[in-house]
Structure 1
Amino acid sequence: MSRAPRALKEQVFEEDADLPVRAMAELFGHHAAAETLQRAAQSGRLPHAWMLAGPPGIGKATLAYRFGRWLLAGGAEGQVPPGETPLHLDPQHATFRRILAGAHADLRALRPNTGEKGGVKMVIRVEDVRAAIRFLAMTPAEGGWRFVLVDGAEQMQPQAANALLKTLEEPPPRAVIVLTTAAPDRLLPTIRSRVRRLDLAPLDHAALDPLLMRLLPQLSATERATLGQIAEGSAGQAVALAEGEGLALQALVDQVLGDLGNRRHWHKVADAVAAKRDGSSFATFMALLRRAISAGVRQAARGQGAPAWLEDRPLAEWSTLWDSLGRLAAETDVLSLDRKQAVLTALLWLSPSRR
């Protein structure tokens, strides 16, 4: 009796999370930082290691790839025609296209991955850093430079950070390392002392809006402006909020804060926030709620016309409440507590009747 043909196993391809970053040819904001990198390379005294620091999602990795493309294409040696913006490289250039495809022999990027033994914590593993160090020590395949990007460097395992430190102390020739981090203080002081630091600020509206038009073309100008405001100048955060129903959740935050004494809609709000089983809506709602409180307190402290709901209690109480909401959100996540009850607890704390 003949056997039935064996079913082919479905292939699952891992999503390339870095692709949109590598594909970004335009420079949105950060012109001063890009000019600093370009001048340093053209001076003939290019520091071997850089740290791009700033809030999540503001374009640190995008700028690092832009620098790497330009450098590997020969920009420091004048082989790249000058563009209207610093570190410009034509998207049709062969170096741009190979880096976009993840196939350039002289560039390697490290990003956090899940840890060993099935853990969920995202880390940059020591074996990946050691492989990158061996890569840097090799002769450049195309006769120019070797370039390593460590994206999210604060998530390096301790052994990985120590391994990288040795290379920073004795760098190989014609090798450049760029670290990006949203938490520079979490890096070893000895690492921070051996890199040239560039701090990137959140994008202003003039730089952020055209970027969001490209990334989120389906949104209206009003929706983009709202996202840009609640994301505080971070394109990455704005995209994440758009994908995670951020606009709808911001509307719930506005509704709650605009009518703190009205308990009739509490259960409806809590049901909406706790609807997703993965907890993403709850995490976003609590983050937006705390952001609104923080922004309101800052406005009041600067005399910039704080929202009316802020008058329900002294500023010091709002600061304490902001901290308490953060602990509530963290405990709910870590201990897998009931998210709807956590939202109701938060709304009770916000209610003026609690004074």
Structure 2
Amino acid sequence: MSDEQEQAWPAPRENPELVGHDEAEALLAGAVASGRLAHGWLITGPRGIGKATLAFRFARYLLAGGAADAQAPGLFGAAEPAASGLRLDPGHPVFRRVASGGHADLLTIERGWDEKKKKRRSEIVIGDVRDIGQFLHLTPAEGGWRTVVIDCAEDMNRNAANAVLKVLEEPPRRSVLLLVSHAPGRLLPTIRSRCRRLALKPLADAQVRALLARYRPDLDPADQALLIWLAQGSIGRALELAEEDGLELYRELGTQLSRLPDLDVPALHDFADRLARDREGNSFRTAADLLEGWMARLLRTASLGRPDPGIPPEEAQILSRLAGARGLDQWLALWEKVTRLIAGAEQADLDLKQVWIGAMLALAGQGRR
């Protein structure tokens, strides 16, 4: 493959590489080597920085015998993590079986498929997690560990969360639950208290830039720089924005926001129609994510009295102008209203066009003195 050809971004279970989280790898390898491995791990951090990739990387390490190997004495009487961390060669049989979803000692939990709506459900339900207890109580098929990856844990509804909590309260021997979470505050406090927390940090801009050069070498320098700024340390988000026309949506959104408190109603309806036409909902989710990010920057501008350094000048001007139109408490109330509206759009199967128009009308109303 030439340097100019795009490579496909691998799914977490298929990804042999992990960038920027050496300390987390060392901590997990050290926990295994100590012989006191926690049964529950809560892996947290922003979306798209490698949390699920780390979870599957650790699962492969355990399933390939990393835990068993760690019990053998090292040079000074205690096992020492390998220099390669948790990495397993992609040609290893365990790697291939995990990548294909065919390893008997690994169970992956995620939002299930809704046959009626022909799309993934908006939450993890009790039926998705019902088999965890039975799975973990079985004897490991390959004599190692039984491992469960839940991605994303905050998607569990109350019944599903309570079922997982029961397992965490009385974990079977040689079992590990890896809970991946972008928003751990939405989890039951009792689940958080029964897991060891492993918080991952956003990637450095240089790391995101290197990965973009690898997976999207077609981007021109200006677009690459804007993606890096919008992604805020998340290579997953940067690639999603590039894939879902995120830069075009950001620029169109900026045009709409620049007119606040006035609105170009025909342009607003055209934009909302475009979002609603995408039956998969990807365009709406991308635009909503961009809007929520913009509102977070507006709140920060209202709080500090100035925009943060690094914000593009055009956006900084809009933020400065609007931030003084209302008090911080009023902008915060609006942010909560808009984020609730967006969050409920898919859960309640609302009309995405009307949701978007409603959000923009709320912003316009708040922007007037």
User: Match of 1:311, as an amino acid?
Assistant: S
Question: For residues 210 and 251 of structure 2, what CA distance do their matches in structure 1 show?
Answer: 24
Q: Return the offset for 1:145.
A: 1.4
Question: For residues 120 and 91 of structure 1, what CA distance do their matches in structure 2 show?
Answer: 29
Q: Return the offset for 1:321.
A: 5.0
Paired position in structure 1 for 2:237: 237
1:83–1:89 CA contact under 8 A, matched in 2: no
3-state SS of 1:135 partner = helix
* Change in 2 beyond 3 A, CA 1:84/1:248: farther
3-state SS of 1:312 partner = helix
Matched, 1:274 2:285: no
3-state SS of 2:17 partner = coil
Q: Return the offset for 1:105.
A: 1.8
3-state SS of 1:271 partner = helix
Paired position in structure 2 for 1:220: 220
- Unaligned segments of structure 2, at least 5 residues: 1-8, 73-78
103-112 or 199-208, which deviates more? 199-208
* Change in 2 beyond 3 A, CA 1:95/1:346: same
Question: For residues 327 and 49 of structure 1, what CA distance do their matches in structure 2 show?
Answer: 30
1:145–1:174 CA contact under 8 A, matched in 2: yes
Structure label with greater radius of gyration: 1
Of 60, 84, 88, 1:69 maps to 60
Of 296, 308, 324, 2:317 maps to 308
Aligned residues: 335
User: Match of 2:97, as an amino acid?
Assistant: R
2:46–2:201 CA contact under 8 A, matched in 1: yes
Paired position in structure 1 for 2:351: 336
User: Match of 1:163, as an amino acid?
Assistant: A
197-206 or 243-252, which deviates more? 197-206
* Change in 2 beyond 3 A, CA 1:117/1:271: closer
Q: Return the offset for 1:142.
A: 1.5
Paired position in structure 2 for 1:143: 143
Paired position in structure 2 for 1:125: 125
34-43 or 53-62, which deviates more? 53-62
Question: For residues 325 and 156 of structure 1, what CA distance do their matches in structure 2 show?
Answer: 23
Root-mean-square deviation (Å)? 3.4
Of 6, 26, 31, 2:17 maps to 26
- Unaligned segments of structure 1, at least 5 residues: 1-17
1:35–1:86 CA contact under 8 A, matched in 2: yes
TM-score, normalised to structure 1, is 0.79
Question: For residues 196 and 326 of structure 1, what CA distance do their matches in structure 2 show?
Answer: 30
Q: Return the offset for 1:221.
A: 4.0
175-184 or 288-297, which deviates more? 288-297
TM-score, normalised to structure 2, is 0.77
Paired position in structure 2 for 1:192: 192
Question: For residues 108 and 221 of structure 2, what CA distance do their matches in structure 1 show?
Answer: 35
Matched-pair identity in %:
43
Question: For residues 350 and 253 of structure 1, what CA distance do their matches in structure 2 show?
Answer: 17
2:15–2:53 CA contact under 8 A, matched in 1: yes
User: Match of 1:310, as an amino acid?
Assistant: L
